Chain A
Amino acid sequence: MHPGICVFSAPCSVFSQRYPTRAWVRYLFLLAAALASLPGAVGAAGATEVIHIGTLPGLRFDTGAFSVRPGSDVEVVFSNYDEMLHNFVVVKPGSRERVVQAALALATGAAEKNFVPDSPDVLWASKVVPAGQSVTLKLTAPAALGEYPYVCTFPGHGILMFGTMIVTNTPQPAVMNPVSLPKPPARTGAPATSPDGMDHAQHAGTPTAATAARAVTMRAFMPNSGPAAIAVQLPGGVSYCWDAGAGRFRYAWTGGYMTMPAAAERGLAKIQGEVFYTEPAYPLRLGAAPGTEPKQIDFKGYTLDAQRIPEFETVVDGVTVRERAEVRDGKLVRRFRTSGEATVWFAIPAENAGLDAPSGTKAGAFYRFAGEAAKEFTIIRPIPVSSTP
């Protein structure tokens, strides 16, 4: 819960709906203050204005702009919710970049100075605020109307982390979206094309996903998978998730590929389409009887063929197992290759509509592959027609 805007000096936590309430209450307050100060009082308003400003991840203040009346007493409660250190410095109009540069040039003793340069441009400055703490900055708003930037002058932050204190006689709601709102991250959305492109121009949900000539293999944090996940987009309109930590196939979907989070490690990729098949557990058993799941599955990597379709390699209790998937005749065809086992079993999932194993024999809850078939076999799963582009 955010502290919200407090019109009184006592701590107040009644405003739980963060942004709308803050803006609304601030507006009311400013309006009230304006009314109270009538007639004709341009100078000090009766009560102290309390402005709460916090931080957001990625070098941003949570408040991009707020307004105060000229000459009013203002308390800025600056709370650092971020993991980094930040300060809060109010500077003269138009001087933000100059102050940021001067802060960078402080060199020796910068930390003692809280990264605040000795500059006439600096009007008010807080100390450096560690994570999870707050400081209160008391100031009297300038008499001169105008836009006074506030900025964090910690090295490297000031380019992005700033906002505007508007000194005005016209009350206005605070702007919660920072003015320094960054541009969309490059890795967001469909995988981008690298220099001399590797045929990655497929965009999620577009027909090219189905007609692409080559596969795309990308590692990312995926939903419903372990962290060492790999997302494969196959020519033919099917994508699947393979979990390198568990050493197994997780699920497949039709439609588009996926969109990446803003930052590769700060979110899950989002699949663009409909999951039509999920494999609940490791499927293979090696040996004369199906027995229990393998004890040790080591991921060894993958190779790409001419179509850049990956074949994954694992060592399962000492046996090398290779697994590859492709789309053929409207079906998802998974090929397994193993080394040195006379019999291999494939556990049939409970949800198994249309599942087929041409070279295997059904034995209870398993397909059984023996002899040559144990060295190479396929598991075939129809792709739902309704979802096939």
Chain B
Amino acid sequence: MTSSVISFSARPSRLPAGRLFSVVIALTLGAVTTSPAHAARGTPNRVPLVASDAPSNFSPYFEVETIPLPEGSLSVDGLAVMPDGRVVVTFYRGWVCFYDPKTKKWSTFAEGLHTPLGVLPLSNRELLVMQMPELTLLVDTDGDGKADRFQTKSDHFGLSTNYAEFAFGPVMDRQGNLFYSLGTGSNQARPMTLTNEVRGFFNPLGAVSRMTSPVAYRGWIMKVTPDGKTIPYACGFREPNGLGIDPQDRLFAIDNQGDWVGASALYKVEQDHFYGHAPDLIWRGDFQGGISAIDTPVEELDRLRTRPAVVFPYGDMSNSPTQPLWDTTGGKFGPFTGQAFLGEMNQRYLMRVMLEEVDGQTQGAVSPFLNDPNNPKLHRGNNRLAYDADGGLWVGQTFHDAWTGEEGLQRITWKGVVPLEVSAMKLTDDGFELAFTRPVNPEVAGNVATYAMKTYFYNYHEQYGSDKYDNHPVGITSAVVSADHRRVTLHLDNLEAWRLYDLSLQGVVSEDGQHALLSPWVVYTVNHLLHNTPPPRAPLPHAPSTDRKVPQYPTPDRSTAGIKSVGGPQEFKPLPDN
């Protein structure tokens, strides 16, 4: 297979066109004065205008093939590989289509679905598809290649026609439990709901914050048991566009930076835990007291929440991470068995996550994967991942309705040559131990000047996103190379819990000098230390940087006037109007 050219041209776009935009008067106005910038610096451009056919730094190891999509430009919202090897794609426009890699032909299985953001094949004739209103089993009962039965598997959640109430998943664990996740609605949608009818009980106390949960279980992860029961499983998510099950059968989910989410992150999800996005708590039994969860002191919410296993450096590495997929190919995709790959909407690369257990907690590191800004081969909009039986990694890309991505379908294959990468980053008593996929040149790897490390943390607060707090360099006192030259232990000046440690490695090469380190950037989220982890620091009062003002949200309308609830979960009693 040859990798095809990816040109950087204006992509055909799919944007909401006619929505009347009501404008909120900006409050303001911290004047930021800038002068003509960079006039004399003359930094050469590192990036060509058009990505060329030229090989990437990863081309000796990986190949990226671009699969032509069906006629017209389409967003890949869901992606999976069928037992028979066909690839199934759910498109934003509501189609479910198969791509047969043998014949290179597309065919249609179903149409007319509502924003199908995930697909899970149960057999060659049965597919679970997550639509905005429900989880549906699509069955081809007569074998003609088209779905003729659309069976509702789970719709026990509220829906209010707010555009951001996306539904993601499903994934299945070894016991046959299904999990899906429900995005919160946007307080900035105009209007907040398109009709005055909602599904499920409408609770205005959930219609608070930037992203809202006015109907049941928005911001929750739901579990569907093998006997068909839907159980609200965990909450505190904002827009969790990506679920995954790791090889130990544990559930993970990502979330996107925003209100109550300082930076996008990967979470290990456990039943009844709360992960930070406060409005969602209104649907939990212990938050039925008639006040909104966001009126709870932030210190109390902070004590309730479970922290992410891995935080993604916002902006510089990742804005919008997507689905995590663990490498279960047994080495067919290279030396990454047991690690997770994640899509990234805004970047032309994937991310690779290395987890470990520290002091009984799961945490770990993240590094970009297939990142060559000079000759990128992946599109943006990397939304869904799936392995085929040959260990090829399929990547579905979406633009959706303006998610800053691109549209496409690509397949990454490993060429059999082991690249030089950091294969593990493990916490030690006073620093980190790095493992490499190949023996490294000990002179370079043993020189502290090879490494640069900084540390910072993100704050927990209602405002949109967090700055990097207390961002400062960390001194590396020594770098000790192991006898087999595959490991380096970094001893630090100081190591603290509840922080990110951002490491860059410059000039690391393999011992034989044939391979340069592909990704010289790894960021480890230290929650726990090996021993004696101190309690997490309390949230800081939101301290906006000088050019930021506290955002103002529309005053939530805390009455149910005009909203009619029909069907859906009704088990929460209406609260008196106030």
Q: Which residues of A contact B (CB under 8 A)?
A: 1-3, 13, 18, 54, 56-60, 62, 77, 79-81, 83-85, 97-98, 101-102, 104-112, 115-120, 122-127, 130-140, 155-157, 159-160, 182-188, 191-192, 194-198, 200, 216-221, 223-228, 243-247, 261-268, 297, 299-305
Is the C-beta of B159 less than 8 angstroms from some C-beta in chain A? yes
In this complex, what residue of A is CB-closest to B554? A132
B159 and A133: CB pair below 8 A?
no
B15 cross-chain contacts in A, Cβ below 8 A? 58-60, 160, 182, 185, 262-263
A101 cross-chain contacts in B, Cβ below 8 A? 8, 45, 47-49
Going nearest first, the 6 A-B pairs with the smallest beta carbon separation are: A111-B315, A156-B404, A263-B401, A218-B112, A105-B373, A245-B567
Q: List 13 A-B contacts (CB under 8 A).
A: A77-B29, A108-B502, A182-B14, A191-B112, A192-B93, A196-B106, A216-B112, A218-B111, A244-B567, A245-B566, A266-B163, A267-B16, A301-B149
Is the C-beta of B552 less than 8 angstroms from some C-beta in chain A? yes
Query: How far in angstroms is the closest Cβ of chain B from A259?
Result: 11
Is the C-beta of B483 less than 8 angstroms from some C-beta in chain A? no
Query: How far in angstroms is the closest Cβ of chain B from A313?
Result: 8
B38 and A81: CB pair below 8 A?
no
Is the C-beta of B548 less than 8 angstroms from some C-beta in chain A? yes
A133 and B551: CB pair below 8 A?
yes
Query: How far in angstroms is the closest Cβ of chain B from A244?
Result: 6
Question: How far apart sit A199 and B379, CA to CA, in the bound complex (Å)?
Answer: 32
Interface residues of B in 284-312 (CB under 8 A from A): none
Known: A102-B45, A227-B199. A195 touches B70 (CB 8 A): yes
B551 and A132: CB pair below 8 A?
yes
- Indicate which residue in B13, B28, B45, B95 contacts A98 across the interface (CB closer than 8 Å): B45
Is the C-beta of B283 less than 8 angstroms from some C-beta in chain A? no
B114 cross-chain contacts in A, Cβ below 8 A? 219-220, 264-265
B108 and A194: CB pair below 8 A?
yes
Known pairs A125-B34, A187-B93; list 8 more (Cβ under 8 Å).
A1-B23, A3-B25, A54-B23, A79-B26, A191-B112, A194-B111, A226-B159, A245-B159
A107 cross-chain contacts in B, Cβ below 8 A? 316-317, 368, 371, 373, 521
Query: How far in angstroms is the closest Cβ of chain B from A157?
Result: 6
Is the C-beta of B531 less than 8 angstroms from some C-beta in chain A? no
Is the C-beta of B115 less than 8 angstroms from some C-beta in chain A? yes
Known: A1-B25, A122-B38. A221 touches B195 (CB 8 A): yes
B134 cross-chain contacts in A, Cβ below 8 A? 228, 244, 299
Question: How far apart sit A225 and B114, CA to CA, in the bound complex (Å)?
Answer: 15
A305 cross-chain contacts in B, Cβ below 8 A? 148
B137 cross-chain contacts in A, Cβ below 8 A? 301
B113 cross-chain contacts in A, Cβ below 8 A? 219
Query: How far in angstroms is the closest Cβ of chain A from B544?
Result: 9
How many A-B pairs have beta carbons closer than 8 Å: the answer is 344
Q: Which one of B245-253, B344-352, B418-426 contacts A?
A: B344-352
Query: How far in angstroms is the closest Cβ of chain A from B397?
Result: 12
Chain B CB within 10 Å, residue with most, of A123, A125, A185, A220: A185
Known: A120-B39, A219-B133, A227-B160. A130 touches B155 (CB 8 A): no
1/0 contact string of B306-333 vs chain A (CB within 8 Å): 0000000111110100000000000000
B73 and A195: CB pair below 8 A?
no
A219 and B94: CB pair below 8 A?
yes
- Indicate which residue in A105, A106, A120, A304 contacts B38 across the interface (CB closer than 8 Å): A120
B42 and A195: CB pair below 8 A?
no
A108 and B504: CB pair below 8 A?
yes
Known: A98-B45, A156-B404. A195 touches B106 (CB 8 A): yes
B92 and A264: CB pair below 8 A?
yes
A132 and B111: CB pair below 8 A?
no
By DSSP majority rule, is chain A's interface helix, strand, loop, or mixed? Answer: loop
Interface residues of B in 419-471 (CB under 8 A from A): 464-465, 468
B115 cross-chain contacts in A, Cβ below 8 A? 264-265
A243 cross-chain contacts in B, Cβ below 8 A? 566-567
B42 and A120: CB pair below 8 A?
yes
Known: A127-B32, A183-B13. A227 touches B159 (CB 8 A): yes
A268 cross-chain contacts in B, Cβ below 8 A? 161, 194-195
A137 cross-chain contacts in B, Cβ below 8 A? 32-34
Known: A126-B34, A243-B566, A303-B148. A131 touches B95 (CB 8 A): no
Question: How far apart sit A225 and B48, CA to CA, in the bound complex (Å)?
Answer: 51
Known: A2-B23, A300-B152. A58 touches B16 (CB 8 A): yes
Known: A79-B28, A224-B195. A246 touches B566 (CB 8 A): yes
B13 cross-chain contacts in A, Cβ below 8 A? 160, 182-183
A218 and B94: CB pair below 8 A?
yes
A228 and B194: CB pair below 8 A?
no
A223 and B316: CB pair below 8 A?
no
B29 and A57: CB pair below 8 A?
no
B152 and A155: CB pair below 8 A?
no
A120 cross-chain contacts in B, Cβ below 8 A? 38-43
Query: How far in angstroms is the closest Cβ of chain A from B126?
Result: 13
Question: How far apart sit A246 and B197, CA to CA, in the bound complex (Å)?
Answer: 10
In this complex, what residue of A is CB-closest to B371? A107
Query: How far in angstroms is the closest Cβ of chain B from A324?
Result: 14
Query: How far in angstroms is the closest Cβ of chain B from A87?
Result: 11
Interface residues of B in 1-59 (CB under 8 A from A): 8, 10-19, 21, 23-43, 45-49
B521 cross-chain contacts in A, Cβ below 8 A? 107-108
Known: A108-B521, A227-B198. A266 touches B28 (CB 8 A): no
Question: How far apart sit A188 and B92, CA to CA, in the bound complex (Å)?
Answer: 12
A18 cross-chain contacts in B, Cβ below 8 A? 23
B133 and A227: CB pair below 8 A?
yes
In this complex, what residue of A is CB-closest to B74? A186
Is the C-beta of B402 less than 8 angstroms from some C-beta in chain A? yes
B33 cross-chain contacts in A, Cβ below 8 A? 136-138
A263 and B163: CB pair below 8 A?
yes
In this complex, what residue of A is CB-closest to B380? A156
A102 and B112: CB pair below 8 A?
no
1/0 contact string of B57-74 vs chain A (CB within 8 Å): 000000000000011111
Is the C-beta of B81 less than 8 angstroms from some C-beta in chain A? no
A266 and B547: CB pair below 8 A?
no
- Indicate which residue in B131, B368, B567 contacts A297 across the interface (CB closer than 8 Å): B567
In this complex, what residue of B is CB-closest to A52? B26
A118 and B133: CB pair below 8 A?
no
In this complex, what residue of B is CB-closest to A231? B112
A186 and B314: CB pair below 8 A?
no
- Indicate which residue in A112, A117, A226, A263 contacts B567 across the interface (CB closer than 8 Å): A226
In this complex, what residue of A is CB-closest to B132? A265
B10 and A81: CB pair below 8 A?
no
Is the C-beta of B136 less than 8 angstroms from some C-beta in chain A? yes
B71 cross-chain contacts in A, Cβ below 8 A? 195
A97 and B23: CB pair below 8 A?
no
Query: How far in angstroms is the closest Cβ of chain A from B313?
Result: 8
Query: How far in angstroms is the closest Cβ of chain B from A9?
Result: 11
1/0 contact string of B156-173 vs chain A (CB within 8 Å): 000111011110000000
B73 cross-chain contacts in A, Cβ below 8 A? 186
A132 and B8: CB pair below 8 A?
no
Known: A81-B21, A263-B163. A198 touches B401 (CB 8 A): no
Query: How far in angstroms is the closest Cβ of chain A from B475?
Result: 19
A304 and B148: CB pair below 8 A?
yes
Query: How far in angstroms is the closest Cβ of chain B from A297?
Result: 7
Known: A188-B17, A224-B195, A243-B566. A217 touches B152 (CB 8 A): no
In this complex, what residue of B is CB-closest to A217? B112
Query: How far in angstroms is the closest Cβ of chain B from A207?
Result: 22
